[in-house]
Amino acid sequence: MTEFEVPVLSVKNLNKQFGLGCPHCKNGESETLVKNYCQVCGTVYACRDVSFDVFPGEVLGIVGESGSGKSTLMQCLYFDQDVTDGEAFVSAYENGEKNLFQESSQQQRYIRNHIMGKVYQNPLLGLRMNFSSIGNIAEKLIAAGSNHVGMMEGRGTELLNKVNIPVHRRKEAPKKFSGGMQQRVQIAKALSNNPPLLLLDEVTTGLDLSVQASVLDLIKSLQRELNISIVLVSHDLGVIRMLADRTLVMLEGKVIEEGLTDQILEDPQHPYTQQLVHSLL
Amino acid sequence: MNTAYNFAFFDEGSKREIRRATLKAIAIPGYQVPFASREMPIGRGWGTGGLQLTLSLIGKDDVLKVIDQGSDDSVNAVNIKKLVFDTTGVETTDETREATLIQSRHRIPEVSLSKDQILILQVPIPEPLRYYEPSESETKKFHAEKEYSGAWLMLFEQIMKYGSMTTGADHPVLVHDRYVMAPSPIPRFDNPKMDESEALILLGAGREKKVYAVPPYTKVVSLDFEDFPFEPESFEDKECRLCGSTGVFLDELVDEATDETVYQCNDTSYCLEKLNAVGVK
């Protein structure tokens, strides 16, 4: 393989289940399973054998209905939840030779702070609502090792400018902002330490259309400018069509289809994907 | 000595449990060790943490000094002294040099302490990250993972709001390059006295049920930023109106008759000692 083809993030056979599982559902294709829920023991198989690669500068979209395991997958990648089993490698950490899920929580914190950025669907999870907006950005910078107030203030102001938050409001707490503004502060925070990998979980859901458009526009231009790789989760095919180069379709915790976004939207193979594409208004 | 109680108020088992927690605290500088805070004849939040440490350590040959915000004669200090005297019969003193055990609320004496002395500080809130993260289980994780961006973030917010670090007391410190610790609400002026201190420093929080320690000759660094270095309160050009001391922590008082601002030593025993020395001349 050439240098060019080394993936930024490589996930192999990721499994995440809630519950212990029982002899009835352990083999995966059992009759006791309704979708990904075992009727006997109540175990939910949120992610089943998920594997994918993300290449430098690529935007990977993940679509699927609610409950298909998209967000759980993202939480696992950001170590908000422990995986049941599976491997993940990031090229920026130990040359991509160490399984992230086996690292100590201290190391995982390092990876989160230095290599990743995440934007949550709910700004409450990604921001400290009572601290100033610029403080929120500084938090990520401090975590990544900055210790210079002037530098952090400059960087914070620059980013807030980029996401169209008026500079004179930078010292206000995000709780005073509208949902769209909070989301943009979150994006600025996630980008502050120039992470090679950005995880976006339903960033535009719940925003009105004009704000949605400006947030998407922003993500697209930042991604082009900084050449970061993005994993983008959405159930909105419009968002996927606009941003994603390549797309995975998830159903019941499994990846059922993957390919170039155009291909998936124009020529869906799996019945569920066909239904999904055809229900697009 | 009141013989209705065991020596030093507590039964031997209780004293041993507190000493065991103390030993652990000394072994892990700056780490908050939980202990079974006992019911005391004074209310929690009135120095029970410090008092329990004092009672667990005191022996018949000890000489006790108790200070409350620099004063040996305030109600709190006098009553604690009385309680310990009543149940142990040990000698008490106002002279810092004579004391072997010094229990203090929110000050470290001006006279530098020696290796034969133990300083016990009363602590209201032992968790330096408490205002950043209200949940104890979360802050425990932060300590375990050495994730202290919150401590710096709080200082950053002060700089953003007020232009400088505004912690009047309880400015967080990093102990032995590992744990961030609340030094108890001592003024910033006293923070440097903790660094490489010859005396053992113990900190007890009765209400929060924590004991922690700075062993002798331990590195204690006050948190700051590259462009906003830590600075203790400055009393340049000012001197004590009674003893004329400079370079000590001074209280600012307003003479209501003349509306003049005057300064006076906060450490009463130090001031008295200076005055007595002047009297000899």
* Whole-number Å distance between alpha carbons of A150 and A173: 20
Indicate which residues of B carry an active-site annotation: 30, 240, 243, 265, 271
A3 band by pLDDT with thresholds 50, 70 and 90: low
State whether B28 and B68 are in the same domain: yes
3-state secondary structure of A202: coil
Q: Which residue is associated with the tokens 């072994």?
A: B27
pLDDT of residue A222: 82
* Candidate from B144, B160, B227 with C-beta closest to A171: B160
pLDDT of residue A26: 75
Render A223-267 in DSSP notation, one character per residue: HHHHT-EEEEE-S-HHHHHHH-SEEEEEETTEEEEEEEHHHHHHS
Helix (H) or strand (E) holding B21: helix B12-27
Chain A residue with CA closest to B224: the answer is A147
State whether B108 and B246 are in the same domain: no
Count of domains observed in chain B: 2
pLDDT of residue B30: 97
Chain B residue with CA closest to A156: the answer is B160
Contact at CB, B160 and A139, closer than 8 angstroms: no
Span A102-131, average pLDDT: 92
Q: Average per-residue pLDDT in chain A?
A: 89
pLDDT of residue A245: 93
Task: Express each pLDDT in B42-72 by its tens digit.
Answer: 888 889 999 999 999 999 999 999 999 999 9
Is residue A43 a contact partner of residue A17, using CB atoms and an 8 Å limit? yes
Mutation choice for A interface testing from B135, B142, B148, B157 by most A CBs within 10 A: B157
* Whole-number Å distance between alpha carbons of A280 and A236: 9
Contact at CB, A142 and B156, closer than 8 angstroms: yes
pLDDT at A1 over 80: no
pLDDT of residue A226: 84
What dihedral angle (degrees, nearest 10) is formed by the CA atoms of A96, A113, B220, B211?
Answer: -100
State whether B94 and B63 are in the same domain: yes
* Cβ density class A253-271: b for 16+ within 10 Å, e for less: bbbbbbbebeebbeebeee
State whether B92 and B21 are in the same domain: yes
- pTM assigned to the model: 0.89
Q: What ipTM does the predicted assembly reach?
A: 0.87
A182 band by pLDDT with thresholds 50, 70 and 90: very high
State whether B186 and B70 are in the same domain: yes
What CATH code is carried by the domain that includes residue B204?
3.40.50.11310
Structural domain range at position B211: 12-126+180-219
Q: Tally the C-alpha atoms within 13 A of residue A242's C-alpha that lie toward its C-beta.
A: 18
Span A147-168, average pLDDT: 92
* Whole-number Å distance between alpha carbons of A219 and B125: 42
Share of chain B above pLDDT 70, in %: 99
* A197 or A1: which leads in pLDDT: A197
pLDDT at B16 over 70: yes
Alpha helices in B112-205 (DSSP H): 136-144, 149-162, 191-194
State whether B37 and B104 are in the same domain: yes
Residue A215: which of A249, A192, A243 has the closest Cα? A243
E strand spans, A19-58: 33-34, 37-38, 44-54
pLDDT at A6 over 90: no
pLDDT of residue B280: 52
Task: Express each pLDDT in A115-129 by its tens digit.
Answer: 999 999 889 999 999
Residues of chain B contacting residue A113, judged by C-beta atoms under 8 Å apart: 149
- CATH fold, domain A3-115+195-278, is Rossmann fold (3.40.50)
Domain ranges of chain A: 3-115+195-278
Residues of chain A contacting residue B162, judged by C-beta atoms under 8 Å apart: none
Residues of chain B contacting residue A138, judged by C-beta atoms under 8 Å apart: 153, 156
* Cα-based angle B80, B83, B88 (whole degrees, multiple of 5): 125
Task: Express each pLDDT in B194-228 by its tens digit.
Answer: 999 999 999 999 999 999 999 999 999 999 999 99
pLDDT at B263 over 90: yes
Residues 6+ apart with CB under 8 A from B11: none
A38 band by pLDDT with thresholds 50, 70 and 90: confident
Does the residue B81 lie in any domain? yes
Helix (H) or strand (E) holding B213: strand B210-214
* Candidate from A132, A148, A150 with C-beta closest to B157: A132
